[in-house]
Structure 1
C-alpha cells in the first residue's frame, strides 16, 4: 500500500488542459519516477520477503507429491526502469530479480515396492523479470484514479535442492516441482503480478478514495487542487494541472478573477516542479476580503506603552501627537478600526513579489459605559514588497518594505497635519501591522503533497504571475 501511495502521491502533486488554465501545475520527471520505483522496490522487498505461498500438490508417473509450508525467504532487488506511455500512464519494468523459496515436501512412489518420504527443500530462482503498465487518470469529480493495465513476469532459472529423503527418487520429480514453482512465481497470474495488481487496483484505489483533494487553511479556507483534466505524459516527464484556488470553507464559490498563464519551462534536471499562479494567492485574498477577514480593531492591548491614550504625561501618546484628539476626548483611549476597502492584489514579477492594498482607518474614542464615538477616517494605500521562500513543503512570506500613504477622508475634529498623521500611522504599521503580517507569513502556505515525502535541495524562482519550485525528493516512510 505504501508503494502505491508513494507513486500515486507523487502523481497527485505533480497535465495538458483542455479549456481551463490551472492555478497549480506540477511535473514529475523521469528522475523522480525512477527514484519512486527504487523506493517502491525497497518496500516490495519487505512485503514479499516472508510471504506465504499456498500448498501445492501434483503427480508425475508413479510419483505423487505435496509441497507445504511454502515461504519466500529471500528477495534480490532487481534493476528497474520506468517509462512514460503517451496518453496512458507509466510502464514499469525490472530485470535480474532473485527469489528464494523454502518449503516442505512429501512424496509417495506407487511402484512395485511403494516408497514414501518427506523432507524440506530450497528453491533458488534467478533472472526474474516483471513489467506492469499503470494507467493514471481522473474521475468526474477531479479525483485521481489509478488502474493496472497488464502485468507480465518471467522466471529464467530455477534450481531446487532437497534435504532428507531418498536421493534417487528426487530425479523423478525435481524438474516438475521446479517448473511448477516457477509457474507460481512467474506468469501474469503468478505471485509478483498478483501482488502488483493488488497494490494498484485494490490498495491504490482505496487510498485514492480516502485522499482529500482540498487542504484546510486556518480552519476557514480550503485550497482546492482537484484535477482539471487527465494527466499529460511526455517522453521525459508527466504533468498534472489542478484547480489551484482558495475558497471560503463554509461556502465554496469560484472567485471572479482571471487566471494568468503560467511560466513555460522545459527543465527536467530536478525530480519535481510545482508552479503556483498568483491567482492562487489572490483567490485567497478575494475570499478573505469578501468574508470580512481583512479588518481589525487596534487597541492599547496591541500597542506598547499606552500609545492610544488621549492624555499622558509624556509625548508618547496619540493625544500629544495629535493635540486635537487630546482636547476633544481627554482622559480616554482611542480605537483604530482598520478595514480593507478593496481586495489586496499580489503580483509576481521577475525577481520580486508585490502586494497592493488600500483601506480605511477609522478612529473612535472610548466613552463611559464602553461606547465609542467616531471622529476621524483616514484612507491608506500600500505597495508592499515581500520575500518568499520554500521550506518543509510550505511557502513562507516576509514583509520587506511596507510603505503607506494616508490622507484625511473625513474629520470631525477639524484640520489635521498630514505629516503628523503619516508619522502616527507609520508607527502603528511598524509596531502592529507588519509583525501581524509576518506572523501570518511564518505559518506557511501548505503545498499539496503526501506524508512521508519531503523536498530536498529546493529552489524557488519568481517570474511573471508564477512561483516556480524546483526540487528533489526524499521518502521517509
Structure 2
C-alpha cells in the first residue's frame, strides 16, 4: 500500500527550496517539528518506496537494424524489458537552512532482463539478456509551497541522474550476433534508463505525492457548532537541526465566523532531538475554542428548583449562569489554569404565566485547573475545581439575602452540575492535523509557557 510510505516521502524528498517564515506572518497556533531523527526514519521509508517504484517502471521495447558482415542488414528487437533488481547502496539527506532539503542517492545498482529477437528474411532467432547498470546517481529537489487555501503543494524543481557503467550478458541461439552490436544496445538502454528515472520521480509526484498532500486537513468540523482551521500561515522553515511547519490552529463557528480579539503568543520549541516529531499547541487554540463555544451559548447553564428548595421552598426559582467573557486558559510550566468570571441571574417563575420575575444578580469568581492529554491523534481536556467559588452581589430586587448560603450551595452542586457537562464536551477532544494514514506513537506531553508540547515518534 502506497499511503504509509508516501507520508514519509513527503518529508524526505519533497521539502526542498522552502523559505523561512516571512516578516508579517502571524504567530502560528500550532507548530509541527520534524527532527533529524524523524527525517532519518523518513529517509529509510523513502528509499524503500523509491526502490519499489523503480522496480515497477515499464521500459519501452527497442528495435533497429545493424550490419552483420556477409549477412548484410539484420533487424533486431529487445522486448519485455523489466527491472529485475535495484540495490540502493548510498543515500543522503541534508538540511540546508533557508534553502530546504537535499536528497541524493549514489553508487546504486540495477539489473534489467529482457528478450531479444533477430530477423533476417524468413530466419528468426531468439534469446534472453540481462543488463547490469552500476554507479547510478540520483539527485532530487522539489519546491514545497502553499496554495490559496493554505494547503501544501509540491512540484519537481530539479531532478538529475547519471549512470556509470553498463554491461549486457546475452544468451540464446547465435547470441554472437547480438554481441556484434553490444555497444549500441548498451548505449540505447542507458539513455532510456537515464530518461525514465526522472520521469518516474515526476510521475510519482503527480500521482502519489500531490494527492497525498491534499489529504492534510485545512479545516475540520469538530461538531455541529465549531470547526478548526489548520491552514498554513507560512512556508515550512528549515534550520540545520529540524524542519518546522506553522499552522493557524484557530477554532471558528460553522454558522458564523467572527474576529478573534486576541493574537497567538510566540511559541518557542525547546531544542530536543530524542524524538522524531515535536508538536506545539498554543493556548491560543484552546482560547479560540472557548470564544466559539461561549458565543454559541454552550457555557450557559440553568439550575432549577430542586437545587434551590432550601432557599425558596414555596417558589419556582431558577438560576441562569453565563460567562461574563470567554474564559481563557493560561499555560505556565507544569500547569494549565483558567479564572472564569460568571454572571448569575436568579428569577422566580410566576404562576399561570410564562413571565419570570428577577430576584437578584451575582458575579462568581473561581480558579479552575485543567488537565490536557493526547491519544490517538486527538487532544483531550478536563476541568476540576482549583479553589472555592466566591460570590459577589451585583443587584438585588428582594432586599437582603444570605450570599454565604448561596455560595455554599454553588460550591456543593458545581462539581455535580457544571463540571460534568463541560468535561463531557472536552472528552470528545479535537484532532491533530495529520495526513492520511499517519500515526503517532510513544506520546508524551509537557506543559510549557504559553503552549503544550507533544513529543512523539512516527508510525
TM-score range, shorter chain: 0.7 to 0.9
Which residue of the other structure, out of 249, 253, 265, is the alignment partner of 1:260?
Answer: 265
1:364 Cα offset (Å): 4.3
Shifted more, 65-74 versus 203-212: the winner is 203-212
Shift of the 416–152 alpha-carbon distance from structure 1 to 2, 3 Å rule, reads same
| 8 Å contact from structure 2 (residues 127, 175) kept in 1 | no
Structure 2 residue aligned with 1:381: 365
Structure 1 residue aligned with 2:112: 101
Q: Following the alignment from structure 1 to structure 2, what is the Cα–Cα distance between the partners of residues 224 and 372?
A: 42
| 8 Å contact from structure 1 (residues 24, 243) kept in 2 | yes
Structure 1 residue aligned with 2:192: 184
Structure 1 residue aligned with 2:335: 352
1:366 Cα offset (Å): 5.2
| 8 Å contact from structure 1 (residues 4, 199) kept in 2 | no
Q: Following the alignment from structure 1 to structure 2, what is the Cα–Cα distance between the partners of residues 449 and 429?
A: 37
Scaled by the length of structure 2, what TM-score is found?
0.86
Q: Following the alignment from structure 1 to structure 2, what is the Cα–Cα distance between the partners of residues 239 and 194?
A: 30
Structure 1 residue aligned with 2:45: 39
1:298 Cα offset (Å): 4.3
Structure 1, residues 234-260: CA drift from partner, whole Å, max 9, x if none?
A: 222222223222222233333110322
Q: Following the alignment from structure 1 to structure 2, what is the Cα–Cα distance between the partners of residues 259 and 17?
A: 16
2:144 equivalent to 1:154: no
Unaligned runs of at least 5 residues, structure 1: 300-307, 310-316
2:82 equivalent to 1:76: no
| 8 Å contact from structure 1 (residues 104, 118) kept in 2 | yes
Q: Following the alignment from structure 2 to structure 1, what is the Cα–Cα distance between the partners of residues 8 and 353?
A: 58
Shift of the 60–91 alpha-carbon distance from structure 1 to 2, 3 Å rule, reads farther
| 8 Å contact from structure 1 (residues 458, 472) kept in 2 | yes
| 8 Å contact from structure 1 (residues 9, 450) kept in 2 | no
Shifted more, 266-275 versus 425-434: the winner is 266-275
Q: Following the alignment from structure 2 to structure 1, what is the Cα–Cα distance between the partners of residues 458 and 211?
A: 24
2:55 equivalent to 1:49: yes
| 8 Å contact from structure 1 (residues 105, 119) kept in 2 | yes
SS of residue paired to 1:415 = coil
Q: Following the alignment from structure 2 to structure 1, what is the Cα–Cα distance between the partners of residues 276 and 92?
A: 15
Structure 2 residue aligned with 1:226: 231
Structure 1, residues 68-118: CA drift from partner, whole Å, max 9, x if none?
A: 2222333334442211234343211123434333322112368xxx85311
Q: Following the alignment from structure 1 to structure 2, what is the Cα–Cα distance between the partners of residues 105 and 29?
A: 50
| 8 Å contact from structure 1 (residues 16, 239) kept in 2 | no
Q: Following the alignment from structure 2 to structure 1, what is the Cα–Cα distance between the partners of residues 313 and 393?
A: 18
1:339 Cα offset (Å): 1.2
Scaled by the length of structure 1, what TM-score is found?
0.83
**How many residue pairs align between the two structures?**
444
SS of residue paired to 2:228 = strand
Unaligned runs of at least 5 residues, structure 2: 69-73
1:369 Cα offset (Å): 6.4
Q: Following the alignment from structure 1 to structure 2, what is the Cα–Cα distance between the partners of residues 105 and 335?
A: 92
